[in-house]
Amino acid sequence: MAVPVIAGLGTAQPPAAAQHELWEGFFAKHFSGATRALAERIFANSGVSRRQAAVNPLLEDVSGWPTERRMRRYQVEALPLGKEAVGRALTAAGLDARDVGLFVVCSCTGYATPGLDILLARDLGMAPDTQRMFVGHMGCYAALPGLGAAGDFVAARGRPALLLCAELTSLHIQPANARVDTQQIVSHALFSDAAVAAVLVPGGRGYALREVASVTDTSTADHMTWDVTDTGFRMGLSPKVPQVLSHHVRGLVDDLLARHGRTSAEVDGWAVHPGGPRILNVVDRELALPPEALAASRATLDEHGNCSSPTVLLILDRLRRAGTPPAWIVMLAFGPGLTLYAALLERTG
């Protein structure tokens, strides 16, 4: 079978705003009383200095919009963002849209039928026999099962596959008069918008996808939720999430590496989804990583916030553009389930 190789990445992001500007210009008025003081501390300690928003609350307040209106806006904003990311990834891989055999789209922040997969296939001129797959509601870890599906297709069919992760979390700001809890404040302080596309081809130069692995602790299914409400999607995020991750992440990574005759000491690139500063601290501690191992993850959180599914691909893009690209990369992402996903990449060529 052909070895699936990530031959091209493309990113696209809407305009950015500074975290302090978002706080002072919108969220400081969004919360009141004791909640406001708590929210200010959470925003200040989020590890985020800038975020991107297709619908910037400093310019347009969607917090009172019904879900139907948000979903219509999702399609308007996500389509050009996805098209830009896909175009850049195909160009980087030296391919045309008609070369794509499988098109996988991951998104948990908006739904429409026909979806982004069909509309982008139309606008980009993909072949009629291009297969499509939509991955929804997996949240922050969706990029890795998306990569796994694309990689399996490449290995089995010997044809290129394309993955797009596109999220518009800015559409889901909750109303100021809604039930406000710490989980909701954390969500408002962290999340951001982005689209990232990856092209996988059979063999060649790039990063070979050696394996995708996962573990799910279904006993903690209520620790992370993403509920569809009448006013957008509402995040539920238990403070126990880092503790659950601490029980599973070492075993997942060690087992993955052992199957390929490797140890964590041989990994020189770590792309760890920054669900927040505490998540990164737990991974750092449990894996006993060397200093600066998570620098790319922390820098991505600082400059882009938590963009849900595209985030781990943003970190991968940062790592591969480093002066000396890593030879081995472990990607880690976490989400509802609680689910932990890992992928092992090896630089080729």
pLDDT tens digits for range 144-154: 999 999 999 99
255-263 long-range CB contacts below 8 Å, 24 or more apart? 255/213, 256/211, 256/213, 256/330, 256/342, 256/344, 257/330, 257/344, 259/211, 260/210, 260/211, 260/344, 262/328, 262/344
The mean pLDDT value of the chain amounts to: 95
215-222 long-range CB contacts below 8 Å, 24 or more apart? 215/248, 215/251, 215/252, 215/339, 215/340, 216/337, 216/338, 216/339, 216/340, 217/244, 217/247, 217/248, 217/337, 217/338, 217/339, 218/337, 220/244, 220/337, 220/338, 221/336, 221/337, 221/338
Mean pLDDT of 201-229: 95
Domains 4-202 and 206-348 agree in fold: yes
Grade residue 274 by pLDDT with cuts at 50, 70 and 90: very high
* CA–CA dist 342, 312 (Å, integer): 11
* CA–CA dist 289, 282 (Å, integer): 11
Give residue-wise pLDDT tens across range 7-60.
Answer: 999 999 999 999 999 999 999 999 888 889 999 999 999 999 999 999 999 999
Grade residue 349 by pLDDT with cuts at 50, 70 and 90: confident
Mean pLDDT of 339-343: 97
Mean pLDDT of 210-238: 93
106 given a catalytic annotation: no
CB 214 within 8 A of CB 145: yes
Query: Dmax of the chain from CA atoms?
Result: 61
Active-site residue identified among 108, 140, 165, 307 = 140
Asked if the model's pLDDT at residue 178 lies above 70, the reply is no
Asked if the model's pLDDT at residue 1 lies above 80, the reply is no
Give residue-wise pLDDT tens across range 249-264.
Answer: 999 999 999 999 999 9
CB 234 within 8 A of CB 227: yes
* CA–CA dist 277, 252 (Å, integer): 21
Q: Where are the domains of the chain?
A: 4-202, 206-348
Predicted TM-score of the model (pTM): 0.96
H/E run at residue 5: strand 4-12
Q: Say how many C-beta atoms besides its own lie within 10 A of residue 31's C-beta.
A: 21
Query: Out of 3.40.47.10, 1.10.468.10, 3.20.20.70, 3.40.50.720, which CATH number does the structure's domain 4-202 have?
Result: 3.40.47.10
CATH class for the region spanning 206-348: alpha beta
Give residue-wise pLDDT tens across range 305-332.
Answer: 999 999 999 999 999 998 899 999 999 9
Grade residue 201 by pLDDT with cuts at 50, 70 and 90: very high
Question: Encoding tokens for residue 245?
Answer: 């991750």
Say whether 272 sits in a helix, a strand or coil: strand
59-66 long-range CB contacts below 8 Å, 24 or more apart? 61/26, 61/173, 62/170, 62/171, 62/173, 62/232, 63/30, 63/173, 63/174, 63/175, 63/176, 63/231, 64/175, 64/231, 65/231, 65/232, 66/230, 66/231
Asked if the model's pLDDT at residue 302 lies above 90, the reply is yes
Q: Exposed, middle or buried: residue 331 (CB in 10 Å: 0-12, 13-18, 19+)?
A: buried
